[in-house]
Amino acid sequence: MQFSSPSLGKISMEQVFADINNFIIECPQNQYKIIVGTDSMTKNETVFVSAIIIHRQGRGARYYYRKEPRRYIKSLRQKIFYETALSLEISTHLKEFLATSGLLEKVNLEVHVDIGNNGETRNLIREIVGMVTGSGLVAKIKPNSFGASKVADRHTK
């Protein structure tokens, strides 16, 4: 998987993991949260953007994102489920990396989904949150899902 970083440019998933590891090692006494969120934009095709945010709580953050163009998808339900599946795929890789690095206990991992109690997505909350929590992860919805609705959304245009 190829990612981009505002400060590092194009990097591989392994380089993302190495940078996250270095970020944590710089200040091991701090608390950390890793957030994974995906958003999409449909024009002639549907572009999915997944973001990984490493947040040193109270002391800044870094993020990485990946763009994935797909065929035009009209169904909101299908887009939301695919967004969630992409976030879960990345989260699974992150959990494996954190476990092998001995950092799993140090980091809280969250999946931010682009759904909320207002609008058309409110009918999907139970299914999507169940999908994420069933994978053993914490799900956040709007207005607390900035990983998807702010960071990933910024790169869908």
Domain layout of the chain by residue ranges: 2-154
Dihedral sign for Cα atoms in the order 11, 30, 139, 113: negative
User: How far apart are the C-alpha atoms of 76 and 59, rounded to whole Å?
Assistant: 36
Tokens of 104: 């799993």
- Give me the pLDDT at residue 156, please: 92
Q: Which residue has the tokens 């879960």?
A: 88
Nearest to residue 60, comparing CAs of 18, 97, 7, 102?
7
Backbone φ and ψ for 115, nearest 5 degrees, come out as -135, 160
pLDDT, tens digit only, all 157 positions of the chain: 899 999 999 999 999 999 999 999 999 999 999 999 999 999 999 999 999 999 999 999 999 999 999 999 999 999 999 999 999 999 999 999 999 999 988 899 999 999 999 999 999 999 999 999 999 999 999 999 999 999 999 999 8
Nearest to residue 62, comparing CAs of 71, 72, 52, 70?
52
- Give me the pLDDT at residue 157, please: 83
Tokens of 31: 């608390």
Neighbouring CB atoms inside 10 A of 93's CB total 16
Kindly report the pTM of this predicted structure. 0.95
